[in-house]
């Protein structure tokens, strides 16, 4: 019997052939970025590869520092090299990895593994499939297809990726496959309560302070179907919140009755504004964000715009008026 060659076989082939690996993901890493980068590192070590460097532009958020291998993640300037094989996961464009892009481009083989809605991906070897709820689930399939034993440490990375990108298996991206994978991860010995407590059910005092401010300044438009709020750099300074503490705050807007479009505008570095988008199924968030040079998924996407929050908000609201017929 022959088994049809799948895109992930080309990824595994590149992994079998490589000797010096560098693995990275997007800036402002979330649980899927961290979990899938570390998951790939575990996979490669399980394949007998000893030279694996994990690189991220931004620090590992505190809630993920306990994951096995997180302490060895370095910034791009400390990556070393040269590398023959570079892996970008949970993103499809090298520049989403910040300064790691140079490291990716310097490798002989550049592998891209992603689950975002993508028009065109970078890389020599690409596996892009938006049916996966998390890039971590793609790592799981590489373990299975590659016949690499799934360790508890790797299973913790994959579960962390899943539970963060699916909102604890509640968002519309969650599939039957997500649950099947999670069941195997549990069989590998992971403690889902302990992981959930560390990753999901812990709010720093800084984040609490930020949440308080954000909830107090939500603005509604289009008959209550649009909700948006701003986070300024001094909000972080004054509450003691870290950039990572802005993660997930948008859900409080999205969950308000009647809201179809939720947005958070956040003051970023260099006079830029980061916008996060959450939409209901009839409005494609990735399409909207692509108009501003960003991207993401159908119901969760983001972009970084030049200019102040007021300027970015003006542009995005104008776009929603013109292209989504919303009276905002």
Which among 164-172, 182-190, 235-243, 275-283 is the span making contact with Mn ion, rule CB under 5 A? 164-172
Q: Does residue number 276 form part of the binding site for ligand AMP (CB under 6 A)?
A: yes
User: Could you say which residues in the range 102-161 bind ligand AMP, by CB under 6 A?
Assistant: 116
Q: Which residue from 262, 265, 294, 328 is in contact with ligand AMP, where contact means CB under 6 A?
A: 294
Residue placing its CB nearer to ligand AMP in the complex, 109 or 174? 174
Q: Does residue number 156 form part of the binding site for Mn ion (CB under 5 A)?
A: no
- In whole angstroms, the minimum distance from the beta carbon of 289 to ligand AMP comes to 6
User: Within its chain, how far is the Cα of 152 from the centroid?
Assistant: 22
- In whole angstroms, the minimum distance from the beta carbon of 127 to ligand AMP comes to 17
Q: Does residue number 118 form part of the binding site for Mn ion (CB under 5 A)?
A: no
Q: How far apart are the first and last CA of the chain?
A: 59
Cα diameter, the chain: 64
Which among 52-60, 224-232, 297-305, 314-322 is the span making contact with ligand AMP, rule CB under 6 A? 297-305
Which among 13-21, 27-35, 38-46, 277-285 is the span making contact with Mn ion, rule CB under 5 A? 27-35
Q: Which residue from 300, 305, 320, 326 is in contact with ligand AMP, where contact means CB under 6 A?
A: 300
Q: By the criterion CB under 5 A, which residues form the site for Mn ion?
A: 30, 32-33, 90, 135, 165
Q: By the criterion CB under 6 A, which residues form the site for ligand AMP?
A: 26, 96, 116, 276, 294-297, 300-304
């Amino acid at each position: 019997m022959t088994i049809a060659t799948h895109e992930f076989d080309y990824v595994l082939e590149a992994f079998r052939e490589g000797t010096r690996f560098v693995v990275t993901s997007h800036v402002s890493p979330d649980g899927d970025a961290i979990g899938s980068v570390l998951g790939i590192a575990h996979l490669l070590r399980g394949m007998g590869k000893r030279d694996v460097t994990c690189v991220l532009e931004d620090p590992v958020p505190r809630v993920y520092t306990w994951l096995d291998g997180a302490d060895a993640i370095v910034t791009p300037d400390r990556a070393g090299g040269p590398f023959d094989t570079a892996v970008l996961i949970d993103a499809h464009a090298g520049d989403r990895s910040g300064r790691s892009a140079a490291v990716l481009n310097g490798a002989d083989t550049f592998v891209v593994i992603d689950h975002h809605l993508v028009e065109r991906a970078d890389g020599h070897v690409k596996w892009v499939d938006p049916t996966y709820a998390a890039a971590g689930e793609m790592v799981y399939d590489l373990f299975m297809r590659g016949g690499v034993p799934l360790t508890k440490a790797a299973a913790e990375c994959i579960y962390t990726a899943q539970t963060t990108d699916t909102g604890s298996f509640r968002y519309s991206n969650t599939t039957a496959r997500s649950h099947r994978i999670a069941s195997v991860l549990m069989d590998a010995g992971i403690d889902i309560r302990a992981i959930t407590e560390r990753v999901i059910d812990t709010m720093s005092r800084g984040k609490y302070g930020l949440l308080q401010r954000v909830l107090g300044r939500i603005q509604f438009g289009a008959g209550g179907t649009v909700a948006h709020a701003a986070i300024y750099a001094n909000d972080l300074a004054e509450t003691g919140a870290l950039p990572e503490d802005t993660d997930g705050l948008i859900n409080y807007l999205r969950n308000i009755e009647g809201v179809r479009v939720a947005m958070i505008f956040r003051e970023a570095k260099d006079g830029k504004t980061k916008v996060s988008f959450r939409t209901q199924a009839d409005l494609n968030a990735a399409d909207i964000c692509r108009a501003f040079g960003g991207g993401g998924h159908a119901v969760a996407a983001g972009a970084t715009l030049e200019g102040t929050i007021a300027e970015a908000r003006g542009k995005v609201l104008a776009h929603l008026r013109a292209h989504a017929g919303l009276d905002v």
